Each structure stands twice: as structure tokens, then as C-alpha cells.
Amino acid sequence: MRWPDGVTCPYCAGKALSYLSTVRKWKCMNKTCHKQFSAKVGTVMEDSPIGLDKWLAAMWMIANDKNGISSYEIHRALDITQKSAWFLLHRIRLAMQNGTLEKMKGQVEADETYIGGLARNMHRSERGRKVKGTGGKGKVAVMGLLERDGKVRAKVIRDATSLILHAEVRGNVEPGAELFTDAWQGYSGLHQQFIHQVINHAEKYVDGQIHTNGIENFWSLLKRGIKGTYVSVEPFHLFRYLDEQTFRFNERKGKDADRFIKTVRQIAGKRLTFDELTGKKTCH
């Protein structure tokens, strides 16, 4: 899957290779290279002592479990440490990341939500540290866009002000598209570039084609996974869980094998070290 046209050296792209069966690696025969490499080099699996059998099993599990799978489940199922399972899952989430510059068109739903623990479930010290007010205070704002009968995009945002919401809509939706939102004032003014239709949830949730039920269904799946499977997600890592849920949602019409194969196809050219993951080193 990685080299459909034949194995090439990840260091110099050379095709003159020798396979070393004793160590199960290839050696580049290019005079300026001569490096050895395995199938893991140049992928999210690079430098991992965990075998491909466990990596591929973990990819199958996270790609096909609707509510996600925790590091403790991977730890028990694959007989690796919980810390290794946590690191492994975050690297697979990076592989699931699939950004595109193509703008959404047709009918698009836009909505925002807040991710964070319920104040009543927090210890008093945590509640005092995290919750500084009501509503979304102490939680992380997330913006979502759903192209009806198409794909969803979700992104962590600083706050749900009109400045940020307008920028996200304009950056991801084609001008002239039908845009459906709720009555939050942050979306007012978008009628100048889009056919903007609003549903006021204080009155009703559906008025013909005017609703945001699609994106709210995505929020429901996301929060079910976070609360039921991951229990607690640090704001620093939230975007990685968004990548995971977005991938599964966008590939929901495919078969289990299709989601697995697409995940495997996207592992190359991506790298995440433990220091980058834990914030000890800046990601490039």
C-alpha cells in the first residue's frame, strides 16, 4: 500500500535496493545514500519498537470503533503498556488527519459547541481552577461545518465571536452556498456572501430544510466518545480527538476494511515524537 509502484528509499527516493532478509530491512545501493530502512521509516511508526502486527491491529480498532477506543483497551488487547498505547493512538490520529483546501458548497450547516467536563463532576480544587464563570467558561470552543450528504470539518477555536466564526466560514465555504446556522449573533452578517438561513432553537428545531441537525448529530457522537470512552481530554490534545472523530464520520458509508486501508495509506510523510506530543518540543 505504501509503495504500489515498487519500494523506494525514503531518504533519497532511489529504487536501487537490496533486501536484507536477516534484519528484514532494505538497503539503498545509491552511492551517496547507502542507508538501511524498514517499512516504518518515514511514517508515524518510525522508531517504534512495537511490531507491525500490533500497529495494524490498533489501526483497525480505532478506525472502526464508533465511540473510539481508549489507551487502556489497547493496552489490554495488544499486551503493551498503557503509556505506549496512548502514544500509539495519538500517532494513528495524526495519520487520520486529512486537511483539504477545497471549499464546501451546496448546503452547509455551521455550528459551534463547547467541550469540557461538567462542573458538578469536578473535584472542588479542579472546579475552582477550570471554571471561572457560567456557560462555556472553562471549556474549549469548537467550530464545525457540515456539507449535507458530504463531509464534516471541525476545529478548535479561541472563542465563538463573529470575527472568528466569519473567518472560518469564509475560509471553508464557497461564496453563494446555502448556509444554515442557529440564531447565535456571531453568525449575523454572513448573508452578504452566502444564502444565510437561520433556525431559532427557542421556537423550533426544524423548519423545512432549515436546521442544523446534521452537525449537532456529529457533536453528539463526538461528546459520547469523549465522555464515554476517553472520560477526560486535555484541551492541548483536543484537536487530535477531533481528527479521529471527523475521519470516522466522513468515512461512515464505507466498510470496515475501507476505513482501515485508508488509515494505513495515510501513515507516510507524518511524524510525531513523544516530546512533541507532550509539549516538551515544538512540532514543525
Q: What is the pLDDT of residues 100-121, one digit of tens each?
A: 789 999 999 999 999 985 544 4
Is residue 202 one of the residues assigned to a domain?
A: yes
How far apart CA 12 and CA 17 sit, in angstroms, is 11
Question: Could you tell me the pTM of the whole model?
Answer: 0.86
Contacts of 148 (CB under 8 A, 6+ apart): 106, 107, 108, 109, 214
Tell me which of 266 and 134 has the higher pLDDT. Answer: 266
Q: Is the pLDDT of residue 133 over 60?
A: no
Split at pLDDT 50, 70, 90, the class of 1 is confident
Phi/psi-derived region of residue 266, left when phi > 0, alpha when psi is between -120 and 50, beta in every other case: alpha
Q: What's the pLDDT score for residue 145? A: 97
**Domain count for the chain:** 3
How far apart CA 283 and CA 184 sit, in angstroms, is 35
Pair (133, 213) in one structural domain = yes
Pair (139, 192) in one structural domain = yes
Mean pLDDT, the chain, whole residue set: 90
Pair (113, 28) in one structural domain = no
Q: Which of 2-16, 119-133, 209-223, 224-238 has the lowest mean pLDDT?
A: 119-133
Split at pLDDT 50, 70, 90, the class of 128 is low
Total length of the chain: 284
Q: Which of 43-57, 124-138, 252-266, 270-284 has the lowest mean pLDDT?
A: 124-138
Q: Over pLDDT 90: what percentage of the chain?
A: 82
Pair (229, 243) in one structural domain = no
Mean pLDDT of 131-149: 77
Pair (174, 257) in one structural domain = no
Q: Is the pLDDT of residue 134 over 60?
A: no
Is residue 102 one of the residues assigned to a domain?
A: no
Q: Is the pLDDT of residue 135 over 60?
A: no
Split at pLDDT 50, 70, 90, the class of 282 is low
Residue 3 structural domain: 1-39
